Structure 1
Amino acid sequence: MTDSIAAGRSASAAHGAGRLRVYARLGKLDVYDYYLGIFLALSAALFPVGAFTAGQARVLALFLLGEIAVLMAMVALDDVTGFRDGSDLANYGPDNPLRSKARKPLVAGTLTVPQALRFAWVCAAAGAGLWAGAAMLAPHRPLWALIAAGALFVVSLQYSYGLKISYHGFQEAFLVALGAVLVIVPYGLVTGGWSGFLMVQAVLFGFGPLMFGVYSNTNDVAGDRAVGRPTVAALVSERGNAVFIGALSAAEFLIGAVASVTGVAPWWFAVLMLPATALRARQYTTGFVRGDIMTARRTGFAVHRLSVVLMTAANVLVGTGVGG
């Protein structure tokens, strides 16, 4: 009797752990790249170290937790729409073996649409509460930061659901704006302002998810065209898409280079970012010379993470005075 009870509890615990993993897949918790922006905000606000308070650290922590909840809501709603319109069935189905069906619980049948929607709205409510708490505890509440956070919250939930902003041709611009806001808003809450150099970093941070997103769109072009989702890859020819992504890759480098030349960023910033620039060039070659789009997409994650490390290092160099 005791053994059967213990076995039942073990099975129940295993089921619960499995269900948590399914919801983690729905919320794409393994794709943590947007959350890395908090390191840029922290490293820019940290100096002088003695002036950075525990209260400011709590604000950043609350903002990060709220950010995780809001983005989990966004991607869960994106999955609901993708499942309903059939694009995820096309992009993650048996005809596309390069994409793992397990990453889409609705396609895999491990969750139902009502379950996914409940998860999304609970996450949205939690995110709103956490961001409100961060604003209440913040030493500064600049109006621009509050408006940016509020707009991001609303637009994120309408990205693929409700108004379906990404179905009206704004997907690529939204990805950059999303990343940028996730850097400048927490910085504004703890410092009350912003700087040109931080804005450059924020835009480059937004380029990171954009530059693995456009490779995903290249792979998913057939499914997106079928449901009328107007990504650039779906709207233009293969050559046009290759030119577009090449132009984005060049623009990313030029943003840092122009900032260095004009004094918005330290003169050495573009040099510091050269390892990321070289890896970005490798990503493009892999995708459009070798024709291996999905490997190129994975390289995009590495470029983004390396860029965050380099930009964080730049903030430390500036903050400590080592970088002049």
Structure 2
Amino acid sequence: MGGSWPYCPEFVIGSTRNRGVCMETKPAEISEAASKTSRTIILRGLLRLSKIRVFQHYFGLALAWLLLSPEALQRPGATTAMLLFLLGSVAIVACACASDDIAGFRNGSDLMNYQSDEQLRDIRAKPLLTGAVTERQALTFAVGSGFLAVLAGAAAFWALDWDAPFSAYALYLLGFAFSVQYSVGLKVSYRRGGGETLLCFSTAAGLLAPFLAVNRDWTWPAVAQALLLGLWLVMVSSYSNVNDVAGDRMAGRRTLAVTTGRTVQNAAMAAFFLLSAGLLTALAMTGGWPGWLLLTALPATALHAAQLYHGPVRGQWLRARKLGLIAYNLGFAGIAVPTFFALHR
């Protein structure tokens, strides 16, 4: 009967001592516990909003670090700058993802695309839909993350004594600016092919900006790996877009899945696969790079081929998307290991 109440030493059989005191403190204790619970829910919601657990977003910076020459790594301020670029990357992703979630919440596309009964999607990934955070809290978080991205980037270039090529500054700023414009502002994803182009560019910029800032020169392996990461991310989103075509059409988002027929979509997915294989082959043939890169990248390539089977052939778009995410992880490892052997063994 009293199981829902916390234990009070004054409530013993036959005792009336200080009963009023214990009863009066009860609401305060409940209020404090509720407040702590509410803060925890909000914090977890903001973490989900930031997508900070999606570690794939930071593969670009990890590869940029591996691609730096030994001389560049010894440069004063290099380590500090790379750590600050990591912080900047976290903030950029948080700002962009929060902005996208706010847009999806407002136009109703997320509500349609994230159904609670879908087995391959967890609606908790959308804290605005679950009510874990309010729209105002999400807006404040997005703006704060944007300021942090600018400050972290400026601090990184300062750590390098501002001695970086113009292209590094441009890629960092443009990568940040266009990432946020995915669903708001310019709404790049609402233009045909805009979403795919932006994903590839912003992902590539996440590798090239810190690499150029510290290395101070372009290299073919860095460009190839930046393009591969961007392309592999497109090979995830393109399958999601086919599954989300109804919600995107309702919101006015002009993805390839919305604006083209199934034949064009399938052709684009096949082209992405061939381009990925071509870039891997070209990278493996680069002088001084181990040819066995093709072997370490084979698992990712095989999963990308499986995507084509489960998506265009079987129509299992979310399963194909999941395979793309696994391929992204394996692809990162498949080029990271040869990069280490090529530059740092």
TM-score by length of 2: 0.85
Q: How far did residue 263 of structure 1 move?
A: 4.8
The CA distance in 1 between the partners of 2:129 and 2:288, in whole Å, is 47
Task: State the alpha-carbon separation in 2 of the partners of residues 262 and 308 from structure 1.
Answer: 18
2:217 to 170, 193, 200: 193
Which protein, 1 or 2, shows the higher relative CO under an 8 Å CA cutoff with sep ≥ 6? 1
Structure 1 residues 12 and 143 mapped into 2: Cα distance closer, same or farther (>3 Å)? Answer: same
Deviation at 1:16, TM superposition (A): 1.8
Could you tell me whether the CA contact under 8 Å between 2:85 and 2:156 is conserved in 1?
yes
Q: TM-score, normalised by structure 1?
A: 0.90
Q: Which amino acid aligns with 1:45?
A: L
Q: Distance in 1 between matches of 2:45 and 2:133?
A: 8
1:132 aligns with 154
In structure 1, distance between residues paired with 2:190 and 2:123:
23
Residues 43 and 306 of structure 1: CA distance in aligned 2, closer, same or farther (over 3 Å):
same
* Contact preservation (8 Å) 1:27, 1:71: yes
Is it true that 1:240 corresponds to 2:264 in the alignment? yes
The separation in 2 between residues aligned to 1:18 and 1:226, in whole angstroms, is 31
- Is 1:178 aligned to residue 218 of structure 2? no
Give the alignment of 1:117-156 within 5 angstroms: 117-138=139-160, 140-156=163-179
1:262-295 deviation line (CA, Å, top 9, x unaligned): 6596544334322211121122222233332112
Q: Which residue of structure 1 aligns with residue 303 of structure 2?
A: 279
Preserved CA contact (<8 Å) 1:197 1:264 = no
- Give the whole-Å Cα distance in 1 for the aligned partners of 2:118 and 2:212: 43
Among the aligned pairs, what percent are the same residue?
32
Q: 1:64 aligns with which of 86, 91, 100?
A: 86
Take 2:113 and 2:295, find their aligned partners in 1: how far apart are those partners?
Answer: 39
Shift of 1:185: 0.9
AA aligned to 1:60 is: M
Alignment deviations for residues 2-31 of structure 1 (CA, whole Å, 9 cap, x no partner) = 985666555433332221111111122222
Separation of aligned partners in 2, 1:122 and 1:38: 22
Q: Distance in 2 between matches of 1:176 and 1:215?
A: 15
Q: 1:197–1:265: 8 Å Cα contact kept in structure 2?
A: no
Determine the C-alpha separation between the residues in 2 that align with 1:269 and 1:239. 33
Find the aligned partners of 1:179 and 1:152 in 2 and give their Cα distance: 8
Give the distance between the partners of 2:35 and 2:76, measured in 1 at CA.
40
2:57 to 29, 34, 37: 34
Measure the CA separation in 2 of the matches of 1:54 and 1:299. 41
CA–CA distance in 2 between the matches of 1:14 and 1:57? 39
Cα deviation, 1:99-145, whole Å, max 9, x if unaligned, reads 33222122223322222111110110111111111111125311111
Residue 103 of structure 1 pairs with residue 148 of structure 2: no
Deviations 1:159-215 (A, max 9, x none): 211111111221101111111111111111222112011110111011222111111
Task: Compute the RMSD of aligned alpha carbons.
Answer: 2.4
Q: Determine the structure 2 residue equivalent to 1:73.
A: 95
| Paired residues of 2:76 and 2:160 also in contact (CA < 8 A) | no
What amino acid is the match of 1:154? A
Larger radius of gyration: 2
Partner of 1:206: 230
Q: 5+ residue gaps in structure 2?
A: 1-20
Moved more, 40-49 or 74-83: 40-49
Out of 224, 241, 249, the residue aligned to residue 273 of structure 2 is: 249
For structure 1, list consecutive stretches of 5 or more residues without a partner in the other structure.
Answer: none
Q: Deviations over 1:51-93 (max 9, x none)?
A: 5367311111111111111111111111111122221121124
Q: Deviations 1:212-253 (Å, cap 9, x if unpaired)?
A: 111111110111112221111111222331221122112111
2:114 matches 1:92:
yes
- Structure-2 residue corresponding to 1:167: 190
User: In structure 1, what is the equivalent of residue 337 of structure 2?
Assistant: 313
